[in-house]
Amino acid sequence: MHRPAAGSDNDARALGARAIFLLVVVLLSARLFYLQVINGAHYLSLADSNRVKLSVIRAPRGLIYDRAGRIIAQDRAASTIMLDPFFGADSANVLAVAGLLEADPQDIWRKMAAAQRRKDDCVLDPDASFAAVSRIEEHRDMLKGTTRRLSLRRRYPAAAAVGNLVGYIAEVSEREIGDDSPYRMGDLIGRSGIERQYESVLRGERGFEFLQVDAVGRELGPLAERSAIPPVPGHDLRLAIDIDLQTLAWDLLGPDRQGAVVAVDPRRGDVLALVSRPSFDPNLLGAGVGRALWAQLNSDSLFPLLNRPIQCVYPPGSTFKIVTAGAALEEGIITPSDRKICTGAFLLGGRPFGCWRKTGHGSVDLRRAIVESCDIYFYNIGLGLGIERLGRWAHAVGFGEPTGIDLPNEKSGLFPTVEWFNRAYGRWGWSRGTVVNLAIGQGEVLATPLQLAVLFGAVGNDGVMFTPRIALESRHPATGRRTVLGEPKGRRLPFSAKTIRLLKDALTAVTEDPDGTGRRSRVEGVVVAGKTGTAQNPHGEDHAWYVGYAPAENPVISVCAFVERGGGGGAVAAPIVQKVMEAWLAARGLLAVSGGPDA
C-alpha cells in the first residue's frame, strides 16, 4: 500500500495554521474597525465619562433694587457641598461624609436616591459653613465623589423689614422637576413674595463646564480641550418700594406689635412701603428651609409668614364710613346738610346700639359725623340704604375684590350679600339690623390694609383709583436694556365729583378740626386728610386703624396703618401714619419751612 509522504502532512498542517491565523487577523481587524471606526464615538464617550464630568454652573439670580436703585436683594458667594452618586454611594463613604457635615446619613441616602433618579449631582449642603468646608477639605483624600464648589446664595440687607415683601427662595422639590422643567436638583426657586411673583424674570439660565475627575470621582479641574458654556444671569428688577420708607415703617410698628403699614402714591399706584409685622428674616431661608426653622415659623401663633397688608382681612371700623356716606349721598338718602341727633345710644327692635362717645354728639350733619366719627349718624343712613344698596357701592369701590397688586395670594376681603347671610345664618338667622353694624365697618365686612390705602388715595386723587404695583421695570444685566413691567392702570370711583369734594373736605377736617379724631396725624407745614378707625375684636382689645393722604388737596402719598389689638386708631395708628408721611414729604421738599427771613 502506498503511504503519503511525511512532508505533505506538514505542508497541510502549516497551510491550515496559516489559514486559521489569517482568519483570526481578519476577525480582529474587523472588530477593531467596528470599535474604532464604526462605533468609535460611542466608546470614546464611555471612556470620557470615566474621566470627564459635566458640571452645572447655576445662573446668578437677578438683583432687586428699590425705586432709587438701592439694593434690596443680591447674590453672595457661598460654598456648596456636592456628592456624586456614581462614585460616592457606599456605606463607609456616606457615613464619613455625614459625620463631617454633622448630618443624618439617612437624609444623605434620600438625597442621593432622588439625584440618581434625576441623573443629577446630590446637593448635601447648599450653603456650608466655614467649619464644614474645612472639615471636608481636610479629609478630601479619603472621600469619594465629594466636592466643594463655589455658588451663589441670596442676601437681603434689610433682613426682616422686607421678609414678607420679597418672600424667600428654597430648593426645588423633585416633583417640580419634569421633562420640560427649567430646573434641576439643587436649583433655587422663589416661594413667596417678589421672589415668587417674578421668578421667571429673576432666575436666569444655567451654564455648563467639563471637569476632569480621577478614579474615585475627585474633581481635578476644568478640561482644557472643552470650553465651558457660561450661564445667563437673571434680569434685575426695580421696585416702586422706597427702602428708607420701608425700614422706617417697620421700626415705627416696633417689635412688640402686630400689624401692617402700607404707603401708596395715589397718582400712579406705586407701592412705596408694604410692611408686615411680625415677619421673618429671608436671609435665614435663602439657602433652603431647614426643617426646624420651618416648623417654628409655621407653628408660631403670631403667624410671621402671613403678609398682613394683603393676606389678612379685618373689620375696617370707622374707616368704612366714607363708603356709607358716599353711597347715601349718591342714592339720595341724605343731603350734606341733613342732621341726626346722637344721644349716645340708638334703639332698633328693642336692642341698643351705642356710639363710641357715651354722652353723644348732639345734632350732627354729614361733615360733623365724619369729623367726630359719630356712629349714630351712620346707623341711621345705613338703615336707609339697606344691605343690598350699601353692598353694591362697597363692591364698586373695591370691597370684596382683590386690588390686583403684583404679589401672590392677595385676599379679596368681604362685603356680604343677602345670599351670603342666608347661607351663613339661615333665612331667619339674621335681621334688618345687621346693616347697622355693616354701616360703621363692623360685623362681617372685612378689608385688607392695602384696600383701604388704595381707596383713600383714590378719594384724595379726585376719584381716580390706580391698581397698586410693586415692580416698575426689569433690566437686562448685560445690555442694560429696560423693560417696563406694567403701565399704571386707573379707573374712576363711581362717586360723583360733588360727592368726592364733600368727602375730601370732611377727611381734611378729621385732621385739622380741633374736635377731629385724627389730630395726631397732623404734619407741620402741610395739610393732611384721613380717617380713624377702632374696630371691635371679639378675641381681645380693639384693632386700631388710621388711613390718610397728603397734601390734602393734591396727595402724593396715601398711608394706612393697622395695629392688631392696638386700641384706639387716633391714639395708636395715626402717629405712625404721621411719621411716615412727614418723612416722605420732607424728602421731596414738600413741607413748608417755618422761620427764616422769608417766613
* CATH number of the domain residue 548 falls in: 3.40.710.10
Confidence tier at 571 by pLDDT (50, 70, 90):
very high
User: Between 264 and 593, whose confidence is greater?
Assistant: 264
- Is residue 65 packed enough to be buried (19+ CB in 10 Å), middle (13-18) or exposed (0-12)? buried
Specify if 420 maps to a domain.
yes
pLDDT confidence of residue 43: 44
Residue pLDDT, tens place only, 468-505: 999 999 999 889 999 999 889 999 999 999 999 999 99
Give the C-alpha separation, 516 to 552, whole Å: 15
Specify if 172 maps to a domain.
no
Provide the domain count of the chain. 1
* Helix (H), strand (E), coil (C) string for 364-397: ECHHHHHHCCCHHHHHHHHHHHHHHHHHHHHHHC
Q: At what angle do helices 91-101 and 105-118 cross, to 10 degrees?
A: 120
Write out the residue range of the structural domain in which residue 555 sits: 243-287+304-587
Of the ranges 127-136, 309-318, 352-361, 476-485, the best mean pLDDT one = 309-318
pLDDT confidence of residue 297: 86
Amino acid in position 225: E
* Helix (H), strand (E), coil (C) string for 522-579: CECCECCEEEEEEECCCCCCCEEEEEEEECCCCCCEEEEEEECCCCCHHHHHHHHHHH
Specify if 369 maps to a domain.
yes
Residue 4 preceded by cis peptide, ω within 30: no
Return all residues near 106 (Cβ < 8 A) that are at least 6 apart.
none
pLDDT confidence of residue 78: 85
Specify if 171 maps to a domain.
no
Give the C-alpha separation, 419 to 341, whole Å: 33
Give the C-alpha separation, 454 to 186, whole Å: 40
Angle at 434 between CA 432 and CA 436, to 5 degrees: 100
Q: Which element (helix H / strand E) includes 585?
A: helix 574-587
Residue pLDDT, tens place only, 65-114: 999 999 999 998 888 888 888 777 788 888 998 899 988 989 889 888 88
Specify if 8 maps to a domain.
no
What is the DSSP secondary structure assignment for residue 400, as one 8-state letter?
Answer: T
Specify if 177 maps to a domain.
no
Residue pLDDT, tens place only, 531-545: 999 998 888 899 999
- Is residue 401 packed enough to be buried (19+ CB in 10 Å), middle (13-18) or exposed (0-12)? middle
Specify if 493 maps to a domain.
yes
Quick count: other Cβ atoms within 10 Å of Cβ 222? Answer: 14
Give buried/exposed letters for 565-593 (b at 16+ CB in 10 A, else e): ebebbbebbbebbbbbbbbbbeeeebbee
* The three grid cell numbers given for residue 133, joined into one nine-digit string: 468646608
Contact indicator for 217, 144 with CB cutoff of 8 Å: yes
pTM summary value: 0.85
Specify if 215 maps to a domain.
no
Pairing of strands 340-342, 362-364: antiparallel
pLDDT confidence of residue 597: 35
Return all residues near 98 (Cβ < 8 A) that are at least 6 apart.
104, 105, 108
Quick count: other Cβ atoms within 10 Å of Cβ 428? Answer: 7
Q: How high is the mean pLDDT of the chain? A: 88
Give the C-alpha separation, 475 to 483, whole Å: 6
User: Between 245 and 106, whose confidence is greater?
Assistant: 245
